[in-house]
Amino acid sequence: MNQNKNEKPRKILFIEDDEQTIKTVKFILESENYEVSVAKDGEAAVRMLDNSADLILLDLVLPQKSGFDILKVIRQEKGLKIPVIILSNLAESMNIEKALKLGANDYIVKNEFPIQIIIDKIKSVLMPSPG
């Protein structure tokens, strides 16, 4: 189910360096009426961090700064409360634990989940809380 067309689109900052992943995920998110900004490396991601995004999708393996470094900037340096979902091919439990400990809201292993699961997780994180 798409967002209500009368609502302004929710904004997602997608931090990813793989062109094919960017094209695929951006296309699908935009078809679900999300507004997607892309940062292709760690430095660009840090420059784009502010409170304007409703959600951050973050890869861990990036040029210039790792996703872990960016997560530290989001949570510790800037103190942003924006939900962060890690979207990475790193499937080892130590990476998952580290990301969650640093403040990620969820962790998705790219090649293990169909895109619809990713969309469903995004929607559940962005769902307004009752009341």
CATH number at residue 21: 3.40.50.2300
Q: Which domain holds residue 58?
A: 11-126
Count of structural domains, the chain? 1
Q: Percentage of the chain surpassing pLDDT 90?
A: 78
Residue 109 is assigned to a structural domain of this protein? yes
Task: Give CA–CA dist 60/11, Å, rounded.
Answer: 20
pTM: 0.90
pLDDT at 5: 53
Q: Is the pLDDT of residue 97 over 60?
A: yes
Reported as a single tens digit per residue, the pLDDT across 43-95 is: 999 999 987 899 999 999 999 999 999 999 999 999 999 999 999 999 999 99
Residue 2 is assigned to a structural domain of this protein? no
Q: Averaged over 27-37, what is the pLDDT?
A: 95
Residue 65 is assigned to a structural domain of this protein? yes
